[in-house]
Amino acid sequence: MRILVMGADGYLGWPTCMYFSQRGHEVIGVDNYFRRHAAREQNCEALFPNPNLNQRAIAWKDNTGKTITIHIGDVSNYNFLRDIFETYRPEAAIHYAEQPSAPYSMIDYERAAFTVKNNLMSTLNLVYAAHEFAPECHIIKLGTMGEYGTPNIDIEEGWIDIEHKGKKDRFLFPRQAGSLYHTTKIMDTDLLWFYVRTWGLRVTDLMQGPVYGISTDEADLDPRMMPNFHYDEIFGTVLNRFLVQAVVGYPLTVYGKGNQIRGYLNINDTMQCVYLSAMQPAKSGELRIFNQVVELFSVNQLAERVKAVGDKLGFTVDIASVNNPRIEKEEHYYNPTFTKLLSLGLKPHYLTDDVLETMLKSVEQYKDNVNKDAISIGITWR
């Protein structure tokens, strides 16, 4: 298949390019280096240096003999994305090309406006380019479990059946995001659902929980091909942050009471989920929604797990409760359904002590690169 990966330079984008290429698919990766520029601007660059996309593609070919085609450009510019679709007419388009950080979206008006413009326009442009040049293209959009919020009922996989005054119907599950970033992801889903109904697009929306990890089979071939691993307050996911904090002796920053529960998954499971979705595509006129998580943990549970393994390895790991910069429930019910990807063939990687130990040892190799000032920057929702 011809696979377009939008946001190919990202934490998940580059590993996805390699994952599909290794399995024999023609991969086209596009990116505008937003995250690299924003990380420099905010003084929170990735833990280890990453070559640019063209250099990574060369490293990939050196190691495997396979080609990943790279284009540098902004998919929120319709003419750029239109040209990509006209040239390649992809059979699947994987959409990572969004501003991916809740804290970044809450810094100030400028970043808020950028988040809205970039995220919605990139999705709208994808819809129009696919409709014009590749109407059978299967759009795989990375959503987020954060769209749902923390409702006091079980979270179904995207849809809910409602009976009201003797009538029944099926609706998108009610969503109540906790940041502007998550709100734009809700808007993306609504936008795609409109064009699925109107133009018969085929779409899979993957409601993904926070991802952790560094290693994939492909990235392990060559240090030049490692993912962009962030540990800072803006772009680092919570477990990745805790791992780095543990290694450098920075107290694990638990927001508020620490009883916030979320669904997590290993980066290798993200690769599986996206691949399984592409190989078993949605039908024309279908918006298919999968909850992409493997295990549930509270923030306290993650911190205690990291501390236990870190202490065993000889690190001095402390846990600190800090004022919660976010507006969110710290005590809540949380019970999402996540069976559909398992039924497609997902074989989960679980967060064992051995996995934590391996990640801590990997981070330790780069501890001299850690910028402690980037761990807690002080972005608040109020």
Task: Determine the residue type at 188.
Answer: D
Segment 158-167 mean pLDDT: 97
Instruction: For residue 154, tell me if it sits in a domain.
Output: yes
**pLDDT value for 363:** 97
Query: In whole angstroms, what is the distance from residue 221 CA to residue 2 CA?
Result: 24
The CA-atom distances, in angstroms, between 148 and each of 41, 103, 217, 341 are: 31, 18, 32, 18
181 is a catalytic site residue: yes
Task: Determine the residue type at 332.
Answer: H
Instruction: For residue 66, tell me if it sits in a domain.
Output: yes
In which band, very low, low, confident or very high, does the pLDDT at 99 lie, cut at 50, 70 and 90?
A: very high
* Residue 232: closest CA among 37, 381, 42: 42
The pLDDT tens digits of the residues spanning 50-81 come to 999 999 999 999 999 999 999 999 999 999 99
Instruction: For residue 381, tell me if it sits in a domain.
Output: no
Instruction: For residue 359, tell me if it sits in a domain.
Output: yes
Which of 181, 231, 275, 366 does the annotation list as catalytic? 181
Q: What is the pTM of this model?
A: 0.97
Instruction: For residue 9, tell me if it sits in a domain.
Output: yes
Instruction: For residue 205, tell me if it sits in a domain.
Output: yes
Query: In whole angstroms, what is the distance from residue 183 CA to residue 342 CA?
Result: 27
Contact in structure between 315 and 261 (CB atoms under 8 Å): no
* Residue 81: closest CA among 113, 12, 127, 117: 127
Query: In whole angstroms, what is the distance from residue 356 CA to residue 213 CA?
Result: 9
164: β partners = 167
Q: How many domains does the chain have?
A: 1
**pLDDT value for 296:** 98
Query: In whole angstroms, what is the distance from residue 166 CA to residue 297 CA?
Result: 38
**pLDDT value for 334:** 98
Residue 56 CB-density burial (10 A; 0-12 exposed, 13-18 middle, 19+ buried)? buried
Query: In whole angstroms, what is the distance from residue 251 CA to residue 256 CA?
Result: 14
Instruction: For residue 379, tell me if it sits in a domain.
Output: no
DSSP state of 155: B
Expressed as residue numbers, the domain containing 72 is 2-374
Instruction: For residue 380, tell me if it sits in a domain.
Output: no
Query: In whole angstroms, what is the distance from residue 378 CA to residue 374 CA?
Result: 10
* Residue 289: closest CA among 187, 154, 140, 169: 140
Which of 16, 115, 144, 216 does the annotation list as catalytic? 144
**pLDDT value for 327:** 96
Contact in structure between 229 and 47 (CB atoms under 8 Å): yes
33 is a catalytic site residue: no
Helices (H) and strands (E) in the chain, counts: 12, 14
Which of 104, 184, 185, 340 does the annotation list as catalytic? 185
Share of the chain above pLDDT 70, in %: 100
185 is a catalytic site residue: yes
At residue 154, the 3 state secondary structure works out as coil
CATH code of 248's domain: 3.40.50.720
